Amino acid sequence: MSADLAHHFDSYEQQAKSASLGVWVFLVTEIMFFGGLFTAYILYRSKYPEAFIAGSHQLDIALGTFNTAVLICSSLTMAMAVRSAQLGKRTAIVGFLMATILLGSTFLGIKATEYHHKWVEHLIPGESFHLDEAHLPTHHGKPVLSDLPTGIVGESRADAPLSTAPRSDLQAHTQLYFFLYFGMTGLHALHMIIGVGLLVWLLSPSSKGKFDADNHNYVEGVGLYWHFVDIVWIFLFPLLYLVGRHG
Partner 1 sequence: MSTQTEFVIPVEEAPEPGDHYLNHTFGLASWLLTKDHKRIAILYLISISFFFVLGGLMAVLIRLELTTPEGDLVQPDIYNRLFTMHGVLMIFFFLIPAIPGVLGNFLIPLMIGAKDLAFPKINLLSWYIYVIGGLFTFYALVSGGVDTGWTFYAPLSTTFTSTHVMAVALGIFIAGFSSILTGLNFVVTIHRMRAPGMTWSRLPLFVWAHYATSIIQILGTPVIAITILLLAAERLFHVGIFDPKVGGDPVLFQHFFWFYSHPAVYIMILPSMGVVSELIAAFARKKVFGYHFVAFSSIAIAVLGFLVWAHHMFVAGISVYAAAVFSVLSMLVAIPSAIKVFNWTTTLYKGSISWETPMLYALGFIGLFTIGGLTGVMLATLGIDLHVHDTYFIVAHFHYIMVGGAIMGYMGGLHYWWPKITGKLYPKFWSTVSALIIFVGFNVTFFPQFILGYLGMPRRYHTYPAEFQVLNVMSSAGATVLGLGYLIPAIYLIWSMRYGKDASDNPWGAVGLEWETSSPPPVENFETPPVVTWEAYEYHESTAMHSLAPSSRGSYRVG
Partner 2 sequence: MTTSSIHVVPLRVYLLVFASLLVLTATTVAVAFVDLGTLNNVVAMAIAAVKAMLVVLFFMHVRYSTRLTGLVIGSGLFALAIMIGLTLIDYATRGWLGVSGK
Partner 3 sequence: MTQPLHGFLRDAPLFPPRASEMARDIDFLFFSTLGVLIFFSTLIASLIFYFMVRYHRRSPNQVGRQPQGNTMLLETAWIIVPLILTLAIFTWGAQIYFAAARPPAGAMQFYVVGKQWMWKIEHPSGKREINELHVPRGQAVKLRMTSEDVIHSFYVPAMRVKADVIPGKYTMLWFKPDTVGTYHLFCSQYCGAEHSHMVGRVVVMEPTDYELFIAGAGGTGGTSSVASGEELFVTKSCNTCHRPDTTARAPMLWGLFGKTVAFHDGRTTVADEAYIRESILNPAAKVVSGYQPIMPTYRGQLSEEEIIQLIRYIQSLKPNAVDGQVR
Binding site for partner 3 (CB under 8 A): 142-143, 145, 150, 157-170
Read out DSSP for 66-118? HHHHHHHHHHHHHHHHHHHHHHT-HHHHHHHHHHHHHHHHHHHHHHHHHHHHH
What minimum distance in Å lies between the beta carbon of 27 and partner 2? 8
CA atoms of 107 and 192, how far apart (whole Å): 9
CA atoms of 26 and 19, how far apart (whole Å): 11
Phi-psi region of 124 (alpha: psi -120 to 50; beta: other; left: phi over 0): beta
Which residue type sits at 182?
Answer: F
Binding partner selected for residue 167 from partner 2, partner 3, partner 1, none, CB under the kind-specific 5 to 8 Å limit: partner 3
Site for partner 2 in 191-220 (CB under 8 A): 213-214, 216
> Which whole-number Å values give the CA distances from 2 to 14, 160, 205, 236, in the listed order?
16, 61, 10, 37
What minimum distance in Å lies between the beta carbon of 221 and partner 1? 12
What minimum distance in Å lies between the beta carbon of 21 and partner 2? 7
Binding partner selected for residue 120 from partner 2, partner 1, partner 3, none, CB under the kind-specific 5 to 8 Å limit: none
Binding partner selected for residue 190 from partner 3, partner 1, partner 2, none, CB under the kind-specific 5 to 8 Å limit: none
Site for partner 2 in 59-78 (CB under 8 A): 61, 65, 68-69, 72-73, 75-76, 78
Binding partner selected for residue 126 from partner 2, partner 1, partner 3, none, CB under the kind-specific 5 to 8 Å limit: partner 1
Residue whose CB is less far from partner 3, 126 or 166: 166
What minimum distance in Å lies between the beta carbon of 42 and partner 2? 6
CA atoms of 148 and 101, how far apart (whole Å): 39
CA atoms of 243 and 232, how far apart (whole Å): 17
